[in-house]
Structure 1
Amino acid sequence: MHNQDNTPVADELKNLSPDMFAPASESSIQDNEKIAAPSLSFIQDSWRRLKKNKAAVVSLIVLTIMIILTIAAPIVAPHDPNVQTVEFASLPPKIPGIGIDGLNGTQKIGETRVDKYAEKGVPEDQYYIFGTDSLGRDLLSRILYGTRVSLIIAFVAAFFDLTIGVTYGLVSGWCGGKIDNFMQRVLEILSGVPNLVVVILMLLVLDPGIMSIIIALAITGWISMARVVRAQTLKLKNQEYILAARTLGESSIKIAFKHLIPNLSGVIIIQTMFSIPSAIFFEAFLSFIGIGIPAPTASLGTLINDGYKTFRFLPHLMWYPAAVICILMISFNLLADGLRDAFDPKMKD
């Protein structure tokens, strides 16, 4: 018979002593049960993921700077955007201390480059960073004020998305049945009317301007938000925690604010961010074709329209406002993509 005492395990057991065993202290047990990673809320976790998206972070910084500049336009703008200085009309851009052609106040006429500031007798201490238009108005000041007008219209459109669109979608999805069927037929009728037709009808009733554009966006701009919110509400209202809340007698309004809207917040924010550049483009399109913001009020669309007329001779009048609207559109879309990935990482797949 094999002697069990000669096994390596038996030898190790002989070497054990009572001193090697000690009761576990309460502090060591608590340390073992601690969560290694910090507990993060939904917003904190989304912000952590958003910071990893470099394009979205850069877009957020760019948009923040542009919004601050437009809000502070009365302070930042070097000149009154509507004051006409005819003797200084059609001046090229000039930045002090920079000798690069196109930014030093010179303009190529034929085969020679002419200093337009010296030719028109502009004082040495006076310059226009983005140049002036055909009426002598400072282009930089008009871009600042025009961007503010475009952003106001865009944020008002986002406000209507949040109020009308979210409310309509929640009611339609929550009620279901005949009510949902009727509300969706109304949406189909409204979506069948183009925004341009609505604006033209508004111009027959109201004067051309910001109000008519806002009303046109208010009539049809929230439809996409309503459809997205309705689809998500139909999916959420059969979840266990919603059924439990209804069983406990919670009112529909309380369920909407306590359960539905918090779970829909990611979708709502993403859809709102995508609606802002659409509204900016819509306003610029209307102003470009001449039925948007009336003169002399500046907007990005009117500035592009004015620059388009003299593009061959004064290209800077169109390039600068076009660059601003491109930066706005790209930044909002990149930020919206980043927010979509941050709020719902599964959408990457």
Structure 2
Amino acid sequence: MIKVLITGTFDLLHPGHINFIRQALKFGDFLVILVARDKNVVKSKGQTPYFNENKRLENLEKLNLADKIISGDLNDPYKVIREERPDVVALGYDQQTFVSGLIDFRDNSYLHFKIERLEPFKEDICKGKSIRKAVEDKEAGFLLINKEESWTSHDVVAKLRSIIGIKQIGHTGTLDPFATGLLICAIGQATKLVGLFDLLPKTYEAAIRLGVESDTYDRTGVIAQSSKLKAQSLKLKIEEIMNSFVGKQKQLPPMFSAKKVGGKKLYELARKGIEIERKPGEIEIYQIDELGIMNNELRIRVACSAGTYIRTLANDIGQKLGTGAVLWELKRTAIGDFKISEAVQLNQLKLDNYSGYLIKPLAAINQLNESYARSAWQ
């Protein structure tokens, strides 16, 4: 057994904490978490924690990530080290000031433990102050919107501002105008937390038109006939080819995308007829299911990592089939555990009813934590 010890306040748990715990688990197979007592938090941070130490212990236990969770005096963590005798003490990126003291203690106590320093995770977002502000903002929250076709993501935000009368509104995960489905919008101080959704996996349903090609890889571009084909004869080949895309891989972002290279959005260059070299990005496709094929149109469901371009996937499927293919329809059905079935149409929202659809920041963060805690994609 290799025992790892980590320490912290662990108030208002967020994905940064989950990442801290998951990184620590890589150094051993038995994890002990030492949680600061309330008096330590008041002394070090100048305010009482949002949750008392018993609740913070309870919240950590619900994640089911640690083997032992205890509270203790962080002014004297060495007492716990003597008692627990860990093989590794792992420090977060904001705990580096403890290194010299730990080294002196280790050398003088004749205890033989390693000191590991962990990498930060979205440290610009995972800040206790920002999260507490969002939780305490009575107007803040998240709306799950079922975006209609032809609307841009910015159009949705503008419409929400006019309905609710609040200017501070943003969104996560842009959807192209021709795409439909789940768009998560943030209100008030919750806008400071939208980056926490970035790494969640996405699920899409797509219709891919076979036998045609497009300069944008979707139906909004210049369409050219590629080849004539019979869908039935391709069925077995399609299953084999789709399975070949499952797993980790590198994917080249399309020129018609919002990805920035050298400070310029690729689609801005593409519209000028300029094509530049792009670096493939690391993505993962967890699952592809065929939903049917009819009249040369293949319908699929894709569960994938953030940063995956379904347009590129459609084009790549067409290239492997030798038929060409264009993404014809796209609907996002899930972002992590947030589902399209829970989303609301914009035309259903009014000033006097939108709060009934609002997911408060604390509830949203708890849902995020559950996703990150059991994630296979980190």
Q: Structure 2-normalised TM-score? A: 0.21
Give 1 or 2: higher strand fraction.
2
Larger radius of gyration, structure 1 or 2? 1
Give 1 or 2: higher helix fraction.
1
Q: Structure 1-normalised TM-score? A: 0.22
